[in-house]
Chains A and B, each alone.
Chain A
């Protein structure tokens, strides 16, 4: 966390610190976990990050987090039909996991509350850097979630869908997964909720994934929070030798959203793909921040982010690639393309490459465009009215990223989510 002395605590900071005192006795965890929680709340006492903290420059959390709701949810919430048909669904409802765990061959699932109680997750509760506000908030309050262990060599026939659903109040959830060597899995991380009566929700969700040597994982984050929600999320992963991780992030909701992606290649031959779609509407603020460490030689990555900005929405993409000194032959490419559809919308892109090795290929590019008038004319000249033609082109702009996933069931399911968004915001 930042160490700037704040002149006076904000209402939100005070509310969080008070809530910690009240909740402490209810939070699961042994001594080791409690030490981490204490450190985390200390960090919050130093103040939430402001724009003066570099990694939070475009998302001044201290200013933007104006209210912190009470802990209790506004209503009950039910598990949703999965994004991918036939998935094994594991719901966390208003911050509480389901006691009934699914039985999947090659997969062991545990409730996270148990792993907090026995202290086995304590080492994973450390922050990842100096300004890890999301990590601190989550560590202080996390009460439940799941730990999913996929055995070495297991090839999952059905996707796994982890659902984090809320109906107001606060929920702080961790989703941990280990994918064993040579295993293959598709995991959907669903982040959604219902607008609650009193209208506020604060969600922190931290996912931690270890991809074993030679394993292949496709992890899809589908975030469709209501516009009453503050959604602070983090996805952290280590990718082993010759392992592949494709992370797809779709942000299509939330009032104040920050999705951090913190990835490190830990074995030679590791490959990381980040594909992101931000669909921004209304008066919302959505920040995707990636920190990728190419920590060993011969690892590759590509990052493609596509944004559609409407209304008075603001979006941020920060992509930082660190190539370590010994990480020769790194190949990394990053692109962030934005379609700006309104005069009041805004998108900020900050690519950063920090390269300490001398034999690498790294590149980045960013564009901001409007709808191509030649394309619009072509579609209209075939009888498609202007509104539909614009809709087709906007959808095409983001659908390109989805189609790259090259899995028909995935592509169809995600395009359905897209259509859902366009039908309410188009």
Chain B
């Protein structure tokens, strides 16, 4: 489903190269964890997948279902089924959360040639998704993410993911800022989305999240490259011994 080939990318503003020859393949139905120390390029990778303009791909390619997505803007990628759950979801004053959800869902439906959702059906879906994440509907009456706590923002991201039903989900440090209970709720939400035709990429610092969302593969990112891949035992190994050993091995 996702094939990243020899990807090189830099920050447009100052030309700093962040991704330096990254290779990664994630198949449909697979949950892939990407781990790595601070500054290894994890968040940058997630932004590049979503199409953020602050980064420029200088070499290599990203294939999604066999097609290059490099020329697609963020909206086109999203309607094609790519979803990024942000590490720091944006607060947008003045944009009502419900209005935003409706516009986003209907824009995606439009792109797929489907009719817009009728209001009762839309409300039903939002209510069900919110209930499954233990979210108060009153929260959704507020402007998008405004005044939400860190945990509420993360839940709202998963809520959007549930409603938009993407094919490739990228979760950027969704566990940061969550307490144990919230972590469980959010993980359950993600696990409910696991399916044979959907791939999930989980970016995280800690093994903790992977106890709840058990990955099929684990990849260690360092200095903009995947330096080691393995199964879920690799995450346990990292937890026990830190990144130093793996980095030393690769060097």
Contact = CB atoms under 8 A, between A and B. Distances in A.
Q: Does A associate with B in a complex?
A: yes
A389 B53 CA distance: 15
A130 interface: no
Contacts of A399: 94
Interface stretch (A75-83, A296-304, A370-378): A370-378
A388 B93 contact: no
Interface in B71-111: 73-75, 77-79, 83-84, 86, 89-90, 92-95, 100, 103-104, 107-108, 111
Interface in B134-172: 143, 160, 164
A329 interface: no
B164 A383 contact: yes
Interface in A285-329: none
Contact of B95 (A381, A386, A396): A396
B104 A377 contact: no
Given A383-B75, A384-B107, A396 B93 contact: yes
B79 A396 contact: no
Nearest to B77: A381
B107 A388 contact: yes
Nearest to A384: B107
Nearest to B145: A378
Contacts of A375: 90, 92
B132 to A, nearest CB: 19
B33 interface: no
B50 interface: yes
B52 interface: yes
B51 interface: yes
Contacts of A382: 78, 100, 104, 107, 160, 164
A109 interface: no
Contact of A388 (B50, B86, B103): B103
Contact of B75 (A374, A389, A398): A389
B167 to A, nearest CB: 13
Q: Tell me the dominant secondary structure on chain A's binding face.
A: helix
A382 B89 CA distance: 12
Given A383-B104, A384-B107, A378 B86 contact: yes
A381 B95 CA distance: 15
B100 A379 contact: yes
Contacts of B89: 378
Contact of A381 (B74, B94, B103): B74
A396 B104 contact: no
Nearest to B74: A380
Given A381-B78, A384-B103, A396 B73 contact: no
B111 to A, nearest CB: 7
B92 A383 contact: no
A386 B92 contact: no
Contacts of A380: 51, 73-75, 78
Contacts of A403: 94
A379 B79 CA distance: 12
Contacts of A377: 50, 52-53, 74
B146 to A, nearest CB: 10
Contacts of B111: 383
Contacts of B53: 373, 377
Contacts of A378: 86, 89-90, 92
A185 interface: no
B94 A400 contact: yes
Given A377-B52, A378-B90, A384 B75 contact: yes
B138 to A, nearest CB: 15
Name which of A377, A396, A400 has the most chain B CB atoms within 10 A of its CB: A377
Nearest to A391: B103
Contact of B103 (A373, A392, A397, A400): A392
A395 interface: yes
A393 interface: yes
A329 to B, nearest CB: 31
A383 B107 contact: yes
B147 to A, nearest CB: 13
B94 A383 contact: no
Contacts of A396: 92-95, 143
A83 to B, nearest CB: 21
Given A375-B90, A396-B95, A397-B94, 15 more contacts: A378-B86, A379-B104, A380-B74, A381-B50, A381-B86, A383-B75, A383-B104, A383-B164, A384-B104, A385-B107, A392-B95, A392-B103, A396-B92, A398-B94, A403-B94
6 contacts: A378-B89, A379-B95, A380-B74, A384-B104, A386-B75, A400-B143
Q: Which 4 A-B pairs have the closest CB atoms?
A: A396-B94, A383-B78, A380-B74, A378-B90
